[in-house]
Amino acid sequence: MNAPTEPFFDSALLGGSSPLDRTVFRAVSEAAQELGQPVWVVGGFVRDLLLQRDWPSDIDFVTLGSGIELAQTAADRLGQRGKVSVFKNFGTAMFKADGFELEFVGARKESYRSDSRKPTVEDGTLEDDQNRRDFTINALAVSLNPDDYGKLIDPFGGLQDLAQRRLRTPLDPDVTFSDDPLRMMRAVRFSATLDFDIDPEALASIRRNAERLQIVSAERILVEFDKVMMTPQPGSGLARFESTGLLAQFFPELIALKGVEEIEGQHHKDNFYHTLEVVDNLSLRSEDLWMRWAALLHDIGKPVVKRFDRKIGWTFHNHEFVGAKMVPKIFSRLKLPLGEPMKRVQKMVLLSSRPVVLSQDEVTDSAVRRLLFEAGDDIDRLMMLCECDITTKNPRRKAKYLSNFELVRQKLKEVEEADRLRNWQPPIDGAHIMRVFNLPPGPEVGQIKTAIREAILDGVLRNDPVEAHRFMLEKGRELGLTPVERMEPPALPHSASPTDDTPRL
């Protein structure tokens, strides 16, 4: 980027008509004049205009006076009377107009206690307000006042930092980061999203102050972390979280993946950096945040089960099962949603090695049926995750793995077309079993249901209610159960009634 030389936001600076000619800025300017209080545009909107990025959807205004009163006056001019949201405790107000979310605050200065990132706030000047900003590139301000409308105010060299793609703090970084430790997370986030370097002094300060992150809520940390996760290639940002010591403050399970251990000349790969590669691979193919989380957690159980066997070397037996059990605890601690997203990630972690095993062994119909049954509609996502898990640098080996996975995909397609097993449920349910044998809910019901399901998945029994009903009666007799009356087999509860072409599973 070429650093602008003009001190005004005019058409020459921005390569076209000035954005400050838009109605929304003129209306705020006129409202401020009416109230007799100066006003400036500050922060990310100014930064992104100068970087010639897409315009942000939100615009921050700082005024010398009441931000709430200015918001209400500007809203009247923009036809948004009565639509202002007021936050009296923070002295801020916001409303939407012209496709933007406009937020207003009175200029302020802040002071902090060591045990809290919530400052004591008092009225201040524009300079005070710029001093409290996190980075010089976010401390840029543009005047909306009549005597210098459009003038860029840059007290800390933010323009030069934009040109050099550098993140610096306006004040001593130890003060900036200790006062509000979330700014350290934002440094990594801006570095990842803008492709900026963090100034060496700021980077050293983050390492010194990383433990201060403990006073920040999990919710605020997660917002910054997820923004890094949604970058085109999250791996570099995640590595920066680790190298600065920030990751260790809130995600020890990921830190446990780091490192290579060697015994008797045998070593395993560094599972932390392998995980970052997998996340990057998957991010090239999917913008689904929860698939990226599945990639991040797919090996999370390995440090728990890691063992060394002198005959076979390093082993990680059952790491998928252990990792899947860890997922709800991680989601709960990090304040991630515990509903469907968590369940999908947990399923991905649990099944993450199943296609790998299939690709290495003879692919049997029974194994494919079980995978389809357990993965359901997530089977394509699971296969994508497994393909992204191939991080070998050996081209021949990588080609072999991908070829094997293609065979698995073909077998999945063939079995799915023949058996329609996605989200399939057996034709006999627990309610039918209890009616036939006059049973309360209990272990016998579960044993019979499991036997029916396994027989169908193994291809011993057709997916047919009549055959399943007969099989149920046989299993009941083996358990010493007697049917109370003759009952007809049920209709298929989850699909059409059987016909002569009911698929054999």
User: Maximum distance among all alpha carbons in the chain?
Assistant: 95
The CATH homologous superfamily for domain 11-162 is: Beta Polymerase, domain 2 (3.30.460.10)
pLDDT at position 111 over 60: no
Q: What local confidence, expressed as pLDDT, does residue 216 receive?
A: 94
Long-range contacts of 54-61 (CB under 8 A, 24+ apart): 55/19, 57/99, 57/100, 57/101, 58/100, 58/101, 58/102, 58/103, 59/24, 59/100, 59/101, 59/102, 59/103, 60/103, 60/105, 61/28, 61/102, 61/103, 61/104, 61/105, 61/144
pLDDT band at 366 (very low <50, low <70, confident <90, very high): confident
Whole-number percent of the chain with pLDDT over 70: 87
**Three-state DSSP class for 268?**
coil
What is the full DSSP assignment across 374-422? Answer: HHGGGHHHHHHHHHHT---S-HHHHHHHHHHHHHHHHHHHHHHHHH--T
Per-residue pLDDT at 286: 96
Give the mean model confidence (pLDDT) for residues 291-299.
97
Residues in Cβ contact with 121 at an 8 Å cutoff, skipping those fewer than 6 apart: 91, 108, 109, 110
pLDDT band of 496, cuts 50, 70, 90: very low
Q: How far apart are CA 401 and CA 225, in angstroms?
A: 32
Residues of the chain with CATH 3.30.460.10: 11-162
Where exactly does CATH 1.10.110.30 map onto the chain? 178-250
Q: What's the pLDDT score for residue 499?
A: 38
Report whether pLDDT(75) > 80.
Answer: yes
Handedness of CA 134, 140, 145, 148 (dihedral sign): positive
Eight-class DSSP state of 341? H
Mean of per-residue pLDDT scores for the chain: 86
Name the residue with higher pLDDT: 286 or 405.
286
**pLDDT mean over 399-417:** 79
Mean pLDDT value of segment 311-334: 91
Condensed to tens digits (0 to 9), the pLDDT of residues 5-53 reads 344 454 444 444 567 878 899 999 999 999 999 999 999 999 998 988 8
The two three-digit tokens of residue 342, written as one number: 């968590």
Question: What token pair was written down for 385?
Answer: 């995750």
Range in 122-136, 145-159, 434-448, 487-501 with the lowest mean pLDDT = 487-501
- The domain 178-250 having CATH identifier 3.30.750.24: the answer here is no
Q: Among residues 259, 254, 197, 193, which one has the least CA distance to residue 226?
A: 193
Question: What is residue 68's predicted lDDT score, i.e. its pLDDT?
Answer: 95
Is the pLDDT reported for residue 3 higher than 60? no
Task: Tell me the per-residue pLDDT of 329-350, one tens digit each, with 9 for 90 and over.
Answer: 999 999 999 999 999 999 999 9
In this prediction, residues 76-93 reach a mean pLDDT of 92
Mean pLDDT highest for which of 181-195, 351-365, 441-455? 181-195
Model pTM score? 0.81
Which helix (H) or strand (E) element contains residue 157?
Answer: none
pLDDT tops 50 at residue 368: yes
Q: What is the pLDDT of residues 154-201, one digit of tens each?
A: 999 999 999 999 999 999 999 999 989 999 999 999 999 999 999 999
Please report the pLDDT score of residue 280 as a whole number: 98
- Share of residues in the chain with pLDDT > 90 (%): 54
Q: How do residues 207-262 score in pLDDT, each as one tens digit?
A: 999 999 999 999 999 999 999 999 999 999 999 999 999 999 999 999 999 988 87
pLDDT at 117 over 70: no
pLDDT value at position 14?
A: 44
- The average pLDDT across 373-401 equals 88
pLDDT at 109 > cutoff 80: no
pLDDT-wise least confident of 417-421, 427-431, 441-445: 417-421
* Confidence at residue 9, expressed as pLDDT on a 0 to 100 scale: 54
